[in-house]
Amino acid sequence: MPLALRDLQAEMASYLVSGADADILGSIVSDTIPAAARLRIHRHQLYESLATALAGTFSTVQQLVGEAFFHAMARAFVAQTLPAQPVLSEYGEGFPAFIDAYDPARGLPYLADVARLDWALNLAFHSPMGERLTAADLSTIPGEQLSSTKVGLAPGTCVIHSTYPLDRIWSASQPGASMATVDLSEAGIRLLVFRRPDDAVFIALTEVEAVFVAGLAARMSLEDAALAAFADDAGFDLSVTFRRLLDLGVFVALQQ
């Protein structure tokens, strides 16, 4: 009695993931090419295509560890976590935490944070561009209303905190550069990740700038976010920071 289709699909999915001997092989025609060799093509496709998708999303991680190491790590992740749906740019959210616990990578303690940066860049890249706030827009707001105005961060904008100098590590991952130039004992960093029209990028923020941005992200008014920043560091320069963020285009246009 052949398996009901639902059971056959479940068994085949399990076999493709695990490769463990299974009754499913008995459902496949074996001739000059045995069933296991035929199914091996699909096992290969499953692992290779998903590892390749992860390499696209976590390109900085791959640059740092090389293709072979990345591939082994990605395959181990695939074996543990398959996508829940077919949009592969949304696959890999759990990869940074997986790297944290991945024993062969324990000599690279910053690697999971690099993966978090890659994931944040991926999320920003796949966020809507929409209209961004400009200096000209701001000039339409009466002076006395400016401090109570809430400016929103553009979709996909976020701050990545790391105890490692992630920006220098990222630069070292680029072609021709080397990790030898990075001093891992350098202070940690906060990176503002955001989408631009054609790509997603990051810039380094000072600690107090990160406090200000966190306030805006929590939907505080400009005044309250600035007060929070002043409380953190009395030297906070609101106009310089605000102008810098405005010029980067990280604020959404005001609602009409």
Task: Please give the residue ranges that form the binding site for other proteins (CB under 8 A).
Answer: 2, 4-6, 8-10, 12-13, 16-17, 26-29, 31-35, 37-42, 45-46, 49-50, 53, 82-90, 125-129, 197-199
Give the sign of the dihedral formed by CA 136, CA 141, CA 144, CA 146: negative
**Closer residue to other proteins, CB minimum distance, 46 or 227:** 46
Q: How far is the CB of 2 from other proteins (least distance, A)?
A: 4
Please write down the HEC assignment for all residues of 239-251: HHHHHHHHHHCCE
**Closer residue to other proteins, CB minimum distance, 53 or 172:** 53
Q: How far is the CB of 198 from other proteins (least distance, A)?
A: 5
Q: How far is the CB of 197 from other proteins (least distance, A)?
A: 7
**Closer residue to other proteins, CB minimum distance, 42 or 243:** 42
- The residue written with tokens 């398996």 in the block is 3
Count of beta carbons in the 10 Å neighbourhood of residue 236: 20
**Closer residue to other proteins, CB minimum distance, 92 or 215:** 92
Of 121, 110, 113, give the one whose Cα is nearest residue 95: 113
CA distance 1 to 61: 49
Q: How far is the CB of 87 from other proteins (least distance, A)?
A: 5
| C-alpha pair distances (Å), 154 with each of 105, 208, 214, 247 | 34, 20, 13, 13
Count of beta carbons in the 10 Å neighbourhood of residue 41: 10
- Written as one letter, the residue type at 164 is Y
**Closer residue to other proteins, CB minimum distance, 31 or 103:** 31
Q: How far is the CB of 51 from other proteins (least distance, A)?
A: 10
**Closer residue to other proteins, CB minimum distance, 95 or 236:** 95
**Strands 189-195 and 200-205, bridge-based pairing:** antiparallel
Q: How far is the CB of 38 from other proteins (least distance, A)?
A: 4
